[in-house]
């Protein structure tokens, strides 16, 4: 190979090398831009757990500048109660490679602890040895607080539902029970002698009472967005019939569609007994009122008859009185014998 040929080869290799360097530089620039602008915390630690690189986001999230933490032990700012658990996850990565996920509390510059979810992966050298771990962490404090609030709300709701003697069942559109309260379990055990669990189909309850078609019709109405209230007497195995109310409440998702149906079953036997008693009392009151009305009518008729008799008597007396008055008003009426000096024998007689 001539000197000219060698020079051409070197130039070609140098051009390829420069292109590779430029490519790597561009990749490094893009990677650095990602690290600089990501809201997550990006860092690397060596095999001793000392920070060797930190992203600028540490200042925004934790209040520390990268230079404040560089060269310091990563566990120094971790909550003491979380260190052993995180170290147990990190140690195998340091020795065997691989990756892991840890949830822990880390101290903010103002002294409060924030929760982080971190994902770590072994960092290898070109020689094939582990030289540290690259870690990407996300602040999940607000998420965990929301989850805790949700858990507490569910516990409070569960306590309220379990405190009532009414049965509450949350049903999916497939009619399987998503959740149920204690009263539902107790009623089912007493009536049917079995146990209910979330995930069981609710159809078995209504099949037992030969009311499946009746239930399905009301359930479909609720799935269409209608609140349904019905009352029905259920005949138990001993032949006794007990009245229950069934309320089907549609549960809407954020999109406005019915995702579940809440079924409330209440024993209304006592209320039905009171209603029956009131109906009987109302019937008695009606009959009594009818009798009073009839008696009043009879009294009115008797009163009219008595008044008529008195009127007749008064008419006779009046006629008689007028008759006698007419006789005494005539000349020489009831005078003594002719030529006598006697005046009228009687001038007025009642």
Contacts by residues 196-201 (CB-CB < 8 Å, ≥ 24 positions apart): 200/176, 201/174, 201/175, 201/176, 201/177
Q: Where in the chain are the domains?
A: 36-140, 164-267
Q: Which numeric CATH code is attached to 36-140?
A: 3.30.450.20
Tell me which CATH homologous superfamily contains domain 164-267. PAS domain (3.30.450.20)
Query: Whose CA is closest to 260, among 207, 205, 212, 202?
Result: 202
Please determine whether the domains at 36-140 and 164-267 fall in the same fold group of CATH: yes
- Edge-to-edge strands of the sheet including 130-139? 51-54, 41-46, 130-139, 113-124, 99-107
How would you write the pLDDT of the chain (350 residues) with one tens digit per residue? 565 555 555 566 566 656 554 554 544 454 554 555 567 898 999 999 999 988 888 999 999 988 899 999 999 999 999 999 999 999 999 999 889 999 999 999 999 999 999 999 998 988 889 999 999 999 999 999 999 999 998 888 888 888 888 889 999 999 999 988 988 888 787 777 778 888 888 888 888 888 899 999 999 999 999 999 999 988 877 778 889 999 999 999 999 999 999 999 988 989 889 988 999 999 898 888 888 888 878 777 767 666 666 666 666 666 666 666 655 555 554 444 454 444 444 444 44
Contact 236, 264 (CB under 8 A): no
């Amino acid at each position: 190979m001539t000197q000219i040929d060698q020079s051409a080869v070197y130039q070609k290799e140098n051009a390829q090398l420069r292109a590779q360097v430029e490519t790597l530089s561009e990749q490094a620039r893009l990677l650095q831009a990602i690290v600089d602008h990501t809201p997550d915390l990006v860092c690397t630690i060596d095999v001793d757990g000392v920070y060797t690189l930190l992203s600028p986001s540490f200042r925004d999230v934790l209040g520390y500048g990268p230079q404040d933490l560089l060269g310091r032990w990563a566990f120094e700012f971790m909550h003491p109660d979380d260190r052993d658990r995180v170290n147990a996850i990190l140690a195998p990565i340091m020795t065997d490679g691989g990756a892991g996920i840890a949830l822990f509390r880390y101290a903010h510059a103002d002294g409060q602890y924030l929760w982080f979810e971190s994902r770590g992966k072994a960092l290898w050298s070109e020689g094939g040895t582990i030289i540290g771990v690259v870690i990407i962490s996300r602040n999940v404090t607000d998420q965990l607080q929301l989850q805790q609030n949700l858990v507490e709300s569910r516990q409070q709701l569960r306590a309220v539902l379990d405190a009532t003697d009414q049965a509450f069942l949350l049903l999916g559109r497939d009619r399987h029970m998503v959740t149920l309260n204690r009263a539902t379990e107790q009623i089912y055990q007493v009536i049917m002698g079995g146990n209910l669990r979330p995930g069981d189909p609710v159809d078995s309850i209504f099949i037992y009472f030969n009311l499946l078609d009746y239930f399905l019709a009301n359930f479909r109405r609720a799935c269409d967005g209608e609140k349904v209230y019905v009352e029905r007497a259920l005949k138990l195995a001993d032949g006794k019939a007990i009245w229950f109310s069934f309320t089907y409440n549609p549960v809407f998702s954020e999109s406005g569609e019915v995702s579940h149906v809440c079924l409330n079953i209440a024993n209304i036997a006592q209320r039905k007994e009171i209603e029956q008693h009131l109906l009987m009392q109302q019937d008695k009151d009606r009959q009594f009122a009818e009798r009073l009305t009839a008696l009043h009518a009879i009294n009115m008729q008797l009163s009219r008859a008595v008044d008529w008799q008195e009127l007749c008597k008064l008419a006779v007396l009046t006629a008689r009185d007028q008759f006698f008055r007419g006789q005494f008003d005539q000349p020489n009426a009831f005078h003594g014998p002719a030529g006598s000096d006697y005046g009228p024998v009687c001038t007025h007689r009642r």
